[in-house]
Amino acid sequence: MSEYFRIRIDDCSDLELLNQSHAEKLFELIDINREYLREWLPWLDNNRYLQNTIDFIKITQMQYESNETVQFVLVHLGEICGVVGFHRIDWLNRSTSIGYWLGESYQGKGLITSACSKVLDYSFGRMGLNRIEIRCAPENLKSRAIPERLGFNEEGLIREAEWLYDHYLDHVVYGMLESQWRSSEKLVITR
């Protein structure tokens, strides 16, 4: 990978551009949290071995180098605890959507909210994007709390938007515009 960078969240946490040095620890986190993550994430059955994580990282590196996406690992107190990243970036319309997940033992610390806030700063600042979406299953209250805390607008519902192992999930769509993010007051995160 030609570029490595880190985004400082606070004294304890960083976002690091996903790279091969993260593969083993990331796979361990996935494997430990497999049943927990399976409730909402459809890709767990395709990531059963370390090589699957290595292959995923290779794909994200190629996509990063092609300016298609950016994926970060969330590091808290020196430990990888989750992933925050973009789905495909639509450069014509200067928009993308953010996806995220966190290991169960790291829940409730405000880590994803803080990380997404920094990703929004990066997206609207350095990247020059205009619109960011977050999509969540209506019943996934923990995930929905993130865009709601960050001041996203709830824009609607997409019916049967995602296949999750044996059933479809609807998605609630949240949107944030660059002008809205810049005009909002500084975020105060409550835990």
Tell me which of 3.40.630.30, 3.50.50.60, 1.20.1250.20, 2.40.30.30 is the CATH number of domain 6-183. 3.40.630.30
Average pLDDT, stretch 146-163? 97
Kindly report the pTM of this predicted structure: 0.91
DSSP symbols for the chain: -----EEE-SSSEEEEE--GGGHHHHHHHHHHTHHHHHTT-TTGGG--SHHHHHHHHHHHHHHHHTTS--EEEEEETTEEEEEEEES--BTTTTEEEEEEEE-GGGTTSSHHHHHHHHHHHHHHTTS---EEEEEE-TT-HHHHHHHHHHTPEEEEEEEEEEEETTEEEEEEEEEEEHHHHHHSPPP----
**Residue 185, pLDDT score:** 54
Q: What is the pLDDT of residues 23-54, one digit of tens each?
A: 999 999 999 999 999 999 999 999 999 999 99
- Are residues 90 and 37 in contact, defined by beta-carbon separation less than 8 angstroms? no
Determine what percent of the chain is predicted with pLDDT higher than 70.
94
